[in-house]
Structure 1
Amino acid sequence: MQKKLILNADDYGWDKDATAGILNLVTSGKIQNVSILANHCTAAELQNIQPYQSSVSTGLHVCLNAGMPVLKTSSSSIQHESGAFFSSKELFIKALTGKVTYKDVYNEINAQYTLLKDAGIEVSHADSHQHLHQYPFLSSMITQALHEVGIKKIRNCMPYSIYDTRRIIVAGFCAGTKNNLRKFSSPDVLITDFTNKHFNFNTQVPELLKRLNTSSYQTIEWMCHPALADRQGSYLQRKNEYDFLMNCDWDELLKELSIGLSKYSFL
């Protein structure tokens, strides 16, 4: 049986360089899965991606840890008094100490989901900013809210390659929260190597694909963060990812492998 490879571009809406880069890849037919930051997108940005529903699976990139919420409220357990979201660390500590309510999590996720639906975007799947939906103490609330709004497919954040502190922590979080994904369909594993600043796109992508071809995984998601330019202070190789994806010939890379490109909507 041919394995499915889901190339998913995260962070549509995050900033102008990410949004423009992802839209270029979509219009060029280079990417078939996109995750949208609803609370960062303008109406025009949503309108620009909407016409590509037939060729692209569009997902909700749940964000409860950066920027302002979609739902405007004077008081919430997931926001500062200023109205901005807590950081990931702050939100985790609040959840750990029982100070985050499910009602606030659900209401904001529902508002983000509804914003996309009202813009004419069919939401095929969900993931989250900085893998928040697999954080201990937050995962059960976020996944339950996603289930309630009608999401049926979700990212499994378990990294295929585990070789540094960040990936060890993520793997631990995923192991502890994997039961929360049971009500969803998910890929078997997540490729996160594009975020490794030492990753060589030209030599290591073919090597990684060959290893995946002989692995036991049948459905593989490859996480991407392409953009026209890097973001100051970020570890992401956004410009390198964009250049690689724009110029990559996947047919050539996969021609001798039992792997085919796929979409979340086919999961």
Structure 2
Amino acid sequence: MAKKLIVNADDFGRSAGVNRGIIEAHRRGIVTSASLMVTMAAAEEAFALAEGCPDLGVGVHLVFTAGRPILPPERVATLVDEKGNFLARDLWLLRIGEVDLAQLKAELRAQIEYFVERRGRPTHLDCH
């Protein structure tokens, strides 16, 4: 059985610079997959760049502490601040007892569904 090393790049979609770095590393044969953050400002660019790299495995990087939710902020009110952005990690940890798990589940499902609509089945799911 042949062995395969998977080198996964995290945070695809976080910024244009991160996106460029991931694509360059893939083209150089270093990165074999990437985890795309659909909630971040450069996510649409990441989707477009991935189209030009058919051998790049792309999965969903589930996010609930950066960017804006896929669902309207009023549907995930316990996960967002007054501007509709996800709570920063430190604030999220302080409010963990107030988080509505049904809202969290709905948002994570929406992120996966959004990815599937844009690209099809993800190669993997991850988060941190």
- Work out the CA distance in 1 between the residues paired with 2:45 and 2:9: 19
What is the match of residue 14 of structure 1?
14
Change (3 A) 1:115 1:50: farther
- Look up the match of 2:56: 56
Percent same amino acid among aligned pairs? 24
Unaligned runs of 5+ in 1: 132-267
Contact 1:50 1:119 in 2 (8 A): no
The residue type paired with residue 109 of structure 2 is: N
Q: TM-score, normalised by structure 1?
A: 0.43
Equivalent in the alignment of 2:47: 46
Check conservation: 2:79, 2:104, Cα contact below 8 A: yes
Query: After the TM superposition, which residues 208-227 of structure 1 pair with which residues of structure 2 at under 5 Å, given as runs?
Result: none
Query: Counterpart in 2 of 1:84?
Result: 85
Counterparts of 1:17-36 in structure 2 under 5 Å?
A: 17-36=17-36
Secondary structure of the residue aligned to 1:24 is helix
SS of alignment partner, residue 23 of structure 1: helix
Work out whether residues 35 and 125 of structure 2, in 8 Å CA contact, stay in contact via their aligned partners in 1: yes
Report the residue type matching 2:106 in the other structure.
Answer: N
Partners of 1:29 and 1:3 in 2: CA distance: 16
- Aligned CA distance change for structure 1 residues 105 and 83 (closer, same or farther; 3 Å): same
CA distance in 2, matches of 1:66, 1:42: 12
**Structure 1 residue 51, shift from structure 2 partner:** 4.6
Q: CA deviation at 1:125?
A: 1.3
Flag as ranges the 4+ runs of structure 1 deviating above 4 A: 1-4
**2:14·2:43 contact (CA, 8 Å) conserved in 1?**
no
User: Match for 2:53: what amino acid?
Assistant: Y
Q: In 1, Cα distance between the equivalents of 2:60 and 2:43? A: 15
User: Rg bigger for which structure?
Assistant: 1
Measure the CA separation in 1 of the matches of 2:99 and 2:6: 33
Q: What do residues 224-263 of structure 1 show as CA deviations (whole Å, max 9, x unaligned)?
A: xxxxxxxxxxxxxxxxxxxxxxxxxxxxxxxxxxxxxxxx
Question: Across the two proteins, how many residue pairs are aligned to each other?
Answer: 126
The residue aligned with 2:104 is 105
- SS across alignment from 1:66: coil
Distance 1:111 1:66, change over 3 A: same
- Call closer, same or farther: CA 1:45–1:5 in 2, change over 3 Å: closer
Shift of 1:45: 2.8
CA RMSD, aligned part only?
A: 2.1
Residues 81 and 125 of structure 1: is their aligned pair in 2 closer, same or farther, counting only changes over 3 Å? same
1:94: which partner in 2?
95
Superposition TM-score, scaled by structure 2 size: 0.83
**Residues of 2 paired with 1:84 and 1:28: CA distance?**
35
